[in-house]
Structure 1
Amino acid sequence: MSRLESGGVESVLLNYLGHFTHPEDFDIHIVTQDINDERCLQTFREAGYNIDVVTHKKKSILKNVVEVRRLLRRERFDVVHSHMTLMNFYVLFLASLTGSRLRISHSHNAFRSSNLLKLAFWSALKPLNKWFANQWFACGREAGIFLFGKHAVDSGKVTILPNAIDLGKFEYNPIARASIRKEFGIGEKDFVVGHVGRFMDQKNHKYLIDIFSSLVEKRPDSWLILVGTGELEKQIQDYVAECGLMDRVIFVGSVDNVNDYYQAMDVFALPSKFEGLPVVSIEAQAADLPVLISANVDCSCALTDNVKFTSVDLAPSVWADELLGMAGRSRGTEVQKRLQKAGYDIQTEAGRLEALYRNAGER
């Protein structure tokens, strides 16, 4: 993986690997070129996984390749599962040279750009990600189409491995809701907008702050809870201060109990510039939250009637009005059955991946 932090890919890995029926049968290595969150590192280690850190490609491509190849030769992995989307190919090529039986190229994103040079570069990388893998995975339809093509997805050549979660953990909990709100001095009837995501350009935090600024003008008792860390966190904090909203925006950071923060929210906003199928959208729905998502996100993440899609090209006030229109809805637990039926219960889905890994090791 590209980096180790509390985020989407890391959550998917922990959810799946942590729900294997017989984890003792596997020797699992998490290979990363960066560690952005020591808490996340500790979580993986406590779960019993080996953490191997290699030189970042941005520092030295040659050292990165040499260190990855050395690791693959030393460990002789049965399975190499790469989660770097466009950059999966070189790890899987090295894995093919060292005898790995199962080489999975996993697409977690559906990148968008109007930059012709970038588009040409992507077009050159996509075939490589198909050639050096013998299994193609994606978190959702759009992510699959992005990396492997529409025909590959429609013909069933791409395995859709849903970003399944522990549904019960996110079930609506009024006690947790009251506890989090009390901790931050949020009134029982105040309006809380929530967002969970890494502070990076993709997540569009500046636009989210503009949305919230417009919202506060319409409803002064509004709050914004931001869960996550990232390279743009300080920049966004400065922008919040510039907008005079520091007393209304809560920067939570990286937490182990993100499920409790969903309970404290009234609506969930995800104005991303692009996504695959974001795990946070599933978590928010599991908490029975109304969810407002960017139209750039895979629409198949809408598993309940509580999801609406809106363009991020619109004025922030449009999003603010949409969020206000979602206010006041009662929440419950019936949504859990719907998500389970849609294939997002990790208790069931983890068995699919475990069987695939096991079969590779027994060949």
Structure 2
Amino acid sequence: MKKVLFYIDSMQKGGANRVMANLVDFFSKKNFNVILVNDIFSDKDIPEYEVNSSAKRIILDVSGSNAIISNYKRIRKLRKIIYEENPDCILSFMGPPNIRMLLSSIFIPCRKVVSVRNDPNREYGKNIIKKIITNFIFLLADGYVFQTEDASKYFIKSIRKKSTIIVNPVNEIFFNTPSSDIRKNVVTVGRLFPQKNHKLLIKAFALFSEKNADENLIIYGEGPLKSELVGYANKLGIKERILFPGSISNVSKELCKAKVFVLSSDYEGLPNALMEAMACGTAVISTDCPAGGPKYLLKDTDAGILVPCNDADQMAEAISVLMDEEKNKYYQDKAKIKSKEFLPETVFEQWEKYLFKK
């Protein structure tokens, strides 16, 4: 029986964590011997993704007086786990876990694959010294999974030559949930963090609302910026038109009722929320943000409208365009066609083939 070890900082709810949970589930159901290693259990106030019960889960749970000491302790403990478990393959996600995995597995004979899930300029650093160090450490890996061509360009040619691009799988519920007969409102889904730039969307919606009184903006998600965003909506005089229902479990149902989905992020890898909206056949708008995920999904496919980052005027105009019934239906159909690339079985088979590549 083949053994695979997965490593990510935590299983708290977020895009990369969701993909990791799905991979653990897929390989467990295929009767692989699966080990999931996390740095910590998520805080009790932050919900975790459910982990397949047949997978062995190990928590490093180390601390130190500063980041250097705690990272050193994590690397030592992770190395011991890798040595004892002796997996055929290790896959890590995200910036710091990728670095820790590669350092902890030096001279241990197994296939080592790292996956870059976000803009590497933000995960690893823009300056030349950080780039050189990151590229040097990444040479310790046997394989590299990127979500976009733009993300791979951070790395040297020898790394890119051994890499592959695999999109995120989207749960089949998003493909199978029936579309509402009457679609209404503008929606977005995402944690209320600075990266998501909800202020841009609120401002754009305020501009759109000057000539459109029939639609509301619904922002699904929780996070530390909630009160600030509510205050910003109030400042723009549209507090009554913007709803903050918090996190919800029936995301697919709400997306299938929405007329327009908008992603307003400053940067993303390959955004799950955008892909889920497309799988629901919802007309979508996104900022053309680094590291190129939305551009990869929308630019040459006509599956949605791209707008520049931090441009409320163009975002408002795009919302207005998609309020037209004929245009809306056109983009719904194009989004649904593109989304077939995100079907779970297709994506997971790509992962299995690459992780155990000879």
Do the structures match in fold with TM over 0.5? yes
**Structure 2 runs not aligned, ≥5 long:** 1-7
Q: Distance in 1 between matches of 2:47 and 2:214?
A: 34
Task: Say which of 140, 143, 154 aligns to 1:132.
Answer: 140
Structure 1, unpaired ranges of 5+: 179-187
Judged with a 3 Å threshold, the aligned counterparts in structure 2 of structure 1 residues 161 and 279 are, in CA distance, closer, same or farther, namely: same
**Hey, what's the Cα distance between the residues in 2 that align with 1:287 and 1:67?**
40
8 Å CA contact 1:262, 1:287 repeated in 2? yes
Does the 8 Å contact 1:19/1:347 carry over to 2? no
> 1:165: which partner in 2?
170
Q: Secondary structure of 1:293's match?
A: strand
- Pairwise CA RMSD of aligned residues? 3.3
Give the partner amino acid of 2:110: R
Q: Secondary structure at the residue paired with 1:222?
A: coil
Residues 2 and 31 (structure 1), Cα distance of their counterparts in 2 relative to 1, 3 Å cut: closer
8 A Cα contact 2:76 2:104, kept in partner: yes
Partner of residue 59, structure 2? 52
Aligned CA distance change for structure 1 residues 356 and 152 (closer, same or farther; 3 Å): closer
Which residue does the alignment assign to 1:182?
none
Residue 131 (structure 2) aligned to one of 105, 123, 130: 123
Once residues 225 and 146 of structure 2 are traced to their aligned partners in structure 1, the CA distance between those partners, rounded to angstroms, is 27
Distance 1:144 1:77, change over 3 A: farther
Instruction: Identify which range, 211-220 or 225-234, moves more after superposition.
Output: 225-234
Kindly tell me the number of residue pairs found equivalent between the two proteins: 338
> Offset of 1:101 from its aligned partner?
0.9
Whether the 8 Å CA contact 2:11–2:49 is kept in 1: the answer is no
Q: Could you tell me how far apart the structure 2 residues matched to 1:318 and 1:82 are?
A: 38
Task: Name the TM-score, length of structure 2 as normaliser.
Answer: 0.80
Structure with larger RCO (C-alpha < 8 A, sep 6+): 1
Q: Deviation string for 1:75-112 (max 9, x for gaps)? A: 53523322113662232111225x26122121112255
Q: Which residue of 1 aligns with 2:103?
A: 93
**Matched residues in 1 for 2:223 and 2:170: separation?**
23
Partner of 2:351: 353
- TM-score normalised per structure 1: 0.79
What percent identity do the matched residue pairs reach?
21
Shift in Å, 1:354? 3.3
The answer on whether the counterparts of 1:278 and 1:301 sit within 8 Å (CA) in structure 2 is no
Alignment match of 2:32 (pick from 20, 25, 32)? 25
Alpha carbons of 1:121 and 1:240: their partners in 2 closer, same or farther (altered >3 Å)? farther
- Structure-1 separation of matches of 2:149 and 2:115: 12
Partner of 2:201: 208
Matches within 5 A, 1:276-315: 276-297=269-290, 298=292, 299-302=295-298, 304-314=301-311
Instruction: Describe how 1:173-192 pairs up with structure 2 within 5 A.
Output: 173-174=178-179, 177=180, 191-192=184-185
- Alpha-carbon distance in 2 for matches of 1:308, 1:57: 46
Asked if structure 1 preserves the Cα contact closer than 8 Å seen for 2:94 and 2:115, the reply is yes
Following TM superposition, by how much is the alpha carbon of 1:229 offset from its aligned partner in structure 2, in angstroms?
2.6
Deviation at 1:193, TM superposition (A): 1.2
- Counterparts of 1:246 and 1:100, CA distance in 2: 58
